[in-house]
């Protein structure tokens, strides 16, 4: 029932957000014209930037697996990562891609299920921590810029609330790990299993500080490459006329957008991302609303194309798990 409720909520939020962004006929006309004039060169560059995201994600995960004594070939690891991306993007619910990724790892190393699980949990934790870090840096450096618009400031306060909750969770998690309190949590605690697994991962990986520092750095670079793919998507619409966001502006808003869309209230952040682009780019960088929303959709389409490649890899999954 909880899963069904989450799916219904995601459907409603996604539909409402997309309708809110694109219901205006004039805006839809602007979107169609801009799409016809899109610069394919910029879109190709955005696709290349996003390819770096998946390559770096594979490298990071391989590092985490090796700490657990698990070795996967680079191509096999990349294939599993891409399959996970496909299920994350096209399956409703929470962390569906992680579960699928674990399924394939279990097929490759059936005797090391717990160690494989810890690698995926740590991978997810690094992603969470890097999102918090980058959003905090963006707000610290450009809070004055974000404060120029009341609508944008509303987004900022939402992000600050999410950051506060995230920082509190991380601090409590580290404290609980240090004092060995996680397994004493009541069984009815929400997400108890995930919290305990995350604590176990921190306990194991804290002995590998140099590896974790490098993995965190790789995660930061991966996020920047992700932001660049959206910048390229926006620049591909330069023929449509109007003002376009600078690289600095795009790098500033993307950590905030990522923080909000990391909460699974819509399918892959669809609709919510376009709304945030309109609020932030429209009010702060003076990008026309239709162009701002379309740049968000094109950036997501670049990511989705990699997800579809993951679907093709999934069809060849027997070759991935064969030893």
236 with 39: CB under 8 angstroms? Answer: yes
Which residue has better confidence, 249 or 239?
A: 249
25 domain-assigned: no
Q: Which of 71-85, 193-207, 256-270 has the lowest mean pLDDT?
A: 193-207
Look at the alpha carbons of 111, 113, 114, 120 in this order and tell me if their dihedral is positive or negative: positive
Statement: residue 275 has pLDDT above 60: yes
Contacting residues for 41 by C-beta, under 8 A, at least 6 apart: 236
SS3 (DSSP) at 110:
coil
135 domain-assigned: yes
Query: Which of 9-18, 192-201, 289-298 holds the top average pLDDT?
Result: 289-298
Q: Could you tell me the pLDDT band of residue 318, with boundaries at 50, 70 and 90? A: low
Domain count, the chain: 1
80, 119, 178 from 308: Cα distances, Å: 13, 25, 42
| 246: region left, alpha or beta (phi > 0 left; psi from -120 to 50 alpha) | beta
Q: Could you tell me the pLDDT band of residue 110, with boundaries at 50, 70 and 90? A: confident
Q: What is the pLDDT of residue 196?
A: 81
Nearest CA to 295 out of 248, 254, 252 is that of: 254
Torsion of CA 16, 299, 308, 22, to 10 degrees: 30
Q: What is the pLDDT of residue 320?
A: 64
Q: Which domain holds residue 213?
A: 2-7+40-321
20 domain-assigned: no
Q: What is the pLDDT of residue 89?
A: 79
274 with 296: CB under 8 angstroms? Answer: yes
Structure tokens at 203: 């306990």
The predicted-structure confidence for 133-166, as pLDDT tens digits, reads as follows: 999 999 999 999 999 999 899 999 999 999 999 9
| CA separation for the pair 18, 266 (Å, rounded) | 10
23 domain-assigned: no
The predicted-structure confidence for 5-29, as pLDDT tens digits, reads as follows: 666 777 787 788 888 888 888 888 9
Q: What is the pLDDT of residue 319?
A: 65
**Global pTM value:** 0.90
76 domain-assigned: yes
Q: How many residues does the chain have?
A: 323
Which residue has better confidence, 39 or 10?
A: 39
101 domain-assigned: yes
108 domain-assigned: yes
The widest CA-to-CA distance across the chain, in whole angstroms, is 60
Nearest CA to 104 out of 63, 60, 66, 73 is that of: 73
| CA separation for the pair 115, 108 (Å, rounded) | 13
DSSP states of 141-168: HHHHHHTT-HHHHHHHHHHHHHHHHHHH
Q: What is the pLDDT of residue 184?
A: 77
Contacting residues for 267 by C-beta, under 8 A, at least 6 apart: 10, 11, 14, 92
34 domain-assigned: no
Mean pLDDT of the chain: 87
């Amino acid at each position: 029932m909880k899963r069904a409720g989450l799916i219904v909520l995601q459907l409603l939020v996604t539909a409402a957000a997309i309708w809110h962004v694109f219901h205006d006929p004039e805006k839809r006309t602007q979107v169609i014209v801009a799409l016809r004039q899109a610069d394919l060169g910029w879109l190709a560059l955005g696709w290349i930037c996003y390819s770096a995201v998946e390559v770096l994600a594979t490298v990071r995960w391989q590092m985490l697996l090796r700490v657990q004594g698990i070795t996967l070939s680079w191509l096999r690891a990349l294939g599993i990562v891409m399959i996970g991306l496909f299920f994350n993007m096209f399956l409703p619910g929470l962390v569906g891609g992680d579960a699928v990724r674990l399924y394939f790892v279990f097929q490759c190393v059936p005797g090391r299920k717990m160690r494989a699980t810890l690698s995926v949990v740590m991978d997810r934790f690094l992603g969470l921590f890097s999102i918090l870090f980058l959003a905090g840096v963006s707000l610290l450096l450009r809070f004055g810029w974000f404060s120029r618009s009341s609508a944008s400031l509303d987004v900022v306060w939402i992000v600050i609330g999410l950051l506060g909750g995230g920082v509190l969770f991380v601090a409590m998690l580290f404290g609980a790990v240090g004092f060995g309190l996680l397994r004493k949590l009541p069984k009815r605690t929400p997400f108890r299993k995930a919290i305990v697994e995350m604590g176990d991962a921190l306990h194991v990986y804290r002995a590998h500080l140099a590896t974790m520092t490098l993995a965190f750095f790789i995660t930061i670079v991966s996020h920047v490459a992700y932001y660049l793919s959206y910048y390229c998507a926006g620049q591909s619409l330069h023929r449509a006329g109007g003002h376009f966001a600078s690289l600095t502006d795009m790098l500033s808003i993307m950590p905030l957008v990522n923080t909000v869309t990391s909460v699974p209230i819509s399918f892959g952040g669809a609709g919510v991302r376009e709304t945030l682009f309109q609020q932030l780019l429209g009010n702060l960088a003076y990008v026309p609303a239709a162009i701002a929303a379309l740049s968000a959709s094109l950036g997501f389409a670049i990511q989705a194309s990699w997800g579809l490649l993951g679907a093709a890899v999934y069809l060849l999954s027997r070759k991935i798990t064969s030893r």
